[in-house]
Structure 1
Amino acid sequence: MPSGMRYWTVVDDGYKVVFIADQWLRFLRFGRSRSELTTKAYAGGIALYLRWCRSTGREWSVAARDLGLFMVWLKYTPSSLDDDPTPVVLGPGADPARKERRVNGVLTAVRGLLSYAVSVGEAPRSVLGQIYELADSRDLPVEAQGEDSGLSYRLRAVHRSQEPEAEVDRATDEELVAMFLECRNARDRLIVLLLGRVGLRRGQAAGLHRSDCHLLPDSRALGCDYSGAHLHVRRRENSNRAWSKSKQAWTQPLDFLVVQAFDRTR
C-alpha cells in the first residue's frame, strides 16, 4: 500500500484480483488490525476454496451447503496449480494431503469470507445458517462458562475436523543449554533466552526496540513506574515485519541471566 503497510490477497489465473476476497482481506488488515501473516494464512485458505468451487462447477457464494465435500477434497487432494483437478492418489496408510489442523484453518478462512460476503450483500443470508448453528454453553469447558451459571447461547461452526489431542512438548533445560552453547554470538544467545526463559513469541522477540527494555532496578527516570528489570511487549508496525499477536501491551520481568545477556549484546 502507499503507506508501506502490506497484506496478502487472492488473484485468479489471469493475475486479476478476486474482488470479494481482496475486499475482505483488506478489511481484516486495516479495519480489524490483523497481522500481515494472518492475511497470508486466510488468503491461502480462500484460494483453495475458490479452486475447489471452480473444479467442481460450484458458485462460491452458495457452495457452503457442500462444505463437507470440501473437507474431503482438502484432506485427500494434493495441491496443484494446473487447471485439471489433481487425481486422488492417496491409499491406505498414506499420509493425508492436509492434516486436521490445516483443514480447520482453511474452514475458518472460508467462514470469515462467507460471513463478510453476507454482510455486504454478495451472498444470500441463508449462507449463515449453513456454516453456523445455534449452540448453548453446556458443551463449553467450565473455565469458559464464566461466573454466570445461567444458560447462554452462541454460534458454533457446523463444519469442523476433529483434531487429535497433542501434548505440548516443552524444550527441556538440557535442550535449551545445548542450543545456548551452539550460539556463535551474543545476539543469538539473547534470542534463545528471550524465547526459552522469558517466554516471548518469535514475533515479539524480533519486534523488540531498545526503548522497550528497562534493565535498571528503578526505571522511573525513564518515565516507567514498573520496578525491577523488565521489558515491554508492544504491538506495532516494525520495519522487519515482526508482529506481536497480543493486541494489548504487557510487561514481563527479567532475571539476572537475561539482563547479563542484554549487556553482552551492547
Structure 2
Amino acid sequence: MPSGSRYWTVIDDELHVMSVADRFLRELRFGRDRAESTSEAYARGVALFLCWCVRTGRDWTTAAAEMGLFMTWLKYTPTGDGQVVIGPGAAPVRGEARINAVLVAVRAFLSFAVVNGQAPQWVLGAIYELADTRDLPLETQSEDGGLFYRLRARHSLKEPETAMDRASDEEIVALFMACRSARDRLIVLLLSRVGLRRSQTVGLRRSDLHLLPDNRSLGCDVEGAHLHVTRRENANGAWSKSRRSYSVPADFLVVQAIDQYLLERHQCPEASNSDFLLVNLFRPPLGEPMPPGAVNELFKALCARAGLARSVTPHMCRHTFGSNLADSGALLDEIQHLMGHASPTSSQPYLHPSVSRLRQAVDRVPTPRVLAEGVSR
C-alpha cells in the first residue's frame, strides 16, 4: 500500500486480482487490524477454496452447499494437482488442524460476500447453524431468562489432542550453551525468561529497552530494568499479537545478555542506523532486522547442535516462562500481565506444573488421623 503497510491477496490463473477476496482481505488487514501473517493465512485458505471451485466447475457463490466434498478434496489433493481421485489406502496430504484453519478462512470470506451482496443469503445457513445457550454457563443467558443464540460452524474435523508442552529448564540450558553468538543467547533468554513471542522478539526496538534503576529520564515511570512490548508495523513482518502495550521486567541474566549483544552488534557497521534490536550480523542483508522465520531456523540448528531428544520450538520457551512463574508462586493475574494476555483464561493453557509442584500439592493435603492409624496397623 502507499503507506508502506502490506497485506496478502488472491489472484487467478491469469494473474488478475479476485476482487471480492481482495476486498475481504483488505478489510481483515486494515479494518479489523489483523496481522499481515493473518491476511496471508486467510488468503491461502480462500485461494484453495476458489481453486477447488474452478477445477470442479463450481460457482464459488453457491459451492457452500457441498462443503463436505471440499473437505475431502483438501484432505487428499496436494496443492497444484487436479481433481481428487481417492484410491485404497490413499494417504492424507493435510491434517485435521490445517483443514479446520482453511475452513475458518472460507467461512469468513463467504460471510463477507453475503453481507456485501456478492453471495446469496442462504449461504450463511449452509456454513453456520444456530445453537442456543441452554447447555452453556448462565452468564451467557439473558437476565430475563431468555436465550441468546450464537452461530456455530457446521463443518469441522475433530483434531487429535496435541497439547503444547513446556521446554524443560535443562533443555533451555542446552540451547543456551549451543549458541555461538551473544545475539542468539539473547534470543533464547528473551523467549524463556521474558516470555516474548517469536514476532515480539524480532519486533523489539532499541528504544523499547529501559535498563536503568530509575527510568524517569527516559520518560518512563516503570522502575528497574524492563522491556516494552508494543504493537506496531515492522518492516520485517513481525507483529505483536497483544493489542495493548505492556512492560516486562528483565532480570540480571537478560540485562547482561543485552550488554554483551550490544557490544557484538557494534562490530557490524551496517547495523548502526537500525533501531531494531535484533539484526542480521552474520549473513546478508547485514544490519537488516531479523525476520520471524529466522528464529525458527535458529532453534532447529540449536536443537541439532545440542543433541536434544526432541525438537524444542520458540513457543515452547514461552510456555516455560509461564510455567516457571506459576511454579515460583506467581498469582494468575501476575502471569496474565507478564505474558500480555487480555484475560486470565488465556494464560491457563501456558501453565504446565512441574512434577515437584504436583508432589508438593499432594503432600499438602492433610491426612485424617484415623486413616493414618489404620494404615500403620
Q: Structure 1-normalised TM-score?
A: 0.90
5 Å-filtered alignment, 1:73-88, equals 73-80=73-80, 84-88=82-86
Tell me which residue corresponds to 2:69: 69
SS at match of 2:186: helix
CA separation of 1:146 and 1:130: change in aligned 2, threshold 3 A: closer
2:150 aligned with 1:154, yes or no? yes
Unaligned runs of 5+ in 2: 263-377
5 Å-filtered alignment, 1:1-266, equals 1-80=1-80, 84-88=82-86, 91=89, 94=91, 96-138=92-134, 152-266=148-262
Unaligned runs of 5+ in 1: none
> Are the equivalent residues in 2 in contact too, given 1:133–1:157 (CA < 8 A)?
yes
Residue 103 of structure 1 and its aligned partner are, at CA, apart by 0.5
Residue 187 of structure 1 and its aligned partner are, at CA, apart by 1.1
Residue 148 of structure 1 and its aligned partner are, at CA, apart by 8.0
Residue 87 of structure 1 and its aligned partner are, at CA, apart by 3.8
Residue 136 of structure 1 and its aligned partner are, at CA, apart by 3.1
Letter paired with 1:201:
R
CA separation of 1:74 and 1:145: change in aligned 2, threshold 3 A: farther
CA separation of 1:145 and 1:209: change in aligned 2, threshold 3 A: farther
Residue 216 of structure 1 and its aligned partner are, at CA, apart by 1.8
Residue 49 of structure 1 and its aligned partner are, at CA, apart by 0.4
Letter paired with 1:153:
Y
Residue 167 of structure 1 and its aligned partner are, at CA, apart by 2.3
In the alignment, the residues of structure 2 paired with residue 107 and residue 13 of structure 1 have an alpha-carbon distance, to the nearest angstrom, of 22
Q: Could you list the structure 1 runs, at least 4 aligned residues long, displaced by more than 2 angstroms after superposition.
A: 84-90, 136-140, 144-153
Letter paired with 2:89:
G
In the alignment, the residues of structure 2 paired with residue 216 and residue 33 of structure 1 have an alpha-carbon distance, to the nearest angstrom, of 34
Letter paired with 1:156:
R
Letter paired with 1:243:
W
Q: Structure 2-normalised TM-score?
A: 0.65
Higher CA-based Rg: 2
- Partner deviation per Cα, 1:133-175 (whole Å, 9 max, x = no partner): 11234555x6x95798965332111111111111222111111
In the alignment, the residues of structure 2 paired with residue 194 and residue 147 of structure 1 have an alpha-carbon distance, to the nearest angstrom, of 42
SS at match of 2:27: helix
In the alignment, the residues of structure 2 paired with residue 148 and residue 210 of structure 1 have an alpha-carbon distance, to the nearest angstrom, of 49
Q: CA RMSD in A?
A: 2.1
- Partner deviation per Cα, 1:58-93 (whole Å, 9 max, x = no partner): 11011111111211111122222x5x425445716x
- Partner deviation per Cα, 1:222-247 (whole Å, 9 max, x = no partner): 22122222111111011222111121
In the alignment, the residues of structure 2 paired with residue 106 and residue 179 of structure 1 have an alpha-carbon distance, to the nearest angstrom, of 34
> Are the equivalent residues in 1 in contact too, given 2:76–2:84 (CA < 8 A)?
no
In the alignment, the residues of structure 2 paired with residue 200 and residue 179 of structure 1 have an alpha-carbon distance, to the nearest angstrom, of 17
SS at match of 1:171: coil
SS at match of 1:154: strand
Q: Kindly, what percent of the aligned residue pairs are identical?
A: 62
SS at match of 1:177: helix
In the alignment, the residues of structure 2 paired with residue 120 and residue 60 of structure 1 have an alpha-carbon distance, to the nearest angstrom, of 15
In the alignment, the residues of structure 2 paired with residue 88 and residue 114 of structure 1 have an alpha-carbon distance, to the nearest angstrom, of 27
SS at match of 1:265: helix
Letter paired with 2:74:
L
> Are the equivalent residues in 2 in contact too, given 1:77–1:88 (CA < 8 A)?
no
> Are the equivalent residues in 1 in contact too, given 2:200–2:239 (CA < 8 A)?
yes
> Are the equivalent residues in 2 in contact too, given 1:71–1:103 (CA < 8 A)?
yes
In the alignment, the residues of structure 2 paired with residue 235 and residue 117 of structure 1 have an alpha-carbon distance, to the nearest angstrom, of 30
> Are the equivalent residues in 2 in contact too, given 1:76–1:90 (CA < 8 A)?
no
In the alignment, the residues of structure 1 paired with residue 220 and residue 88 of structure 2 have an alpha-carbon distance, to the nearest angstrom, of 59
Give the number of equivalent residue pairs. Answer: 260
- Partner deviation per Cα, 1:20-39 (whole Å, 9 max, x = no partner): 11111111112112111111
SS at match of 1:232: strand
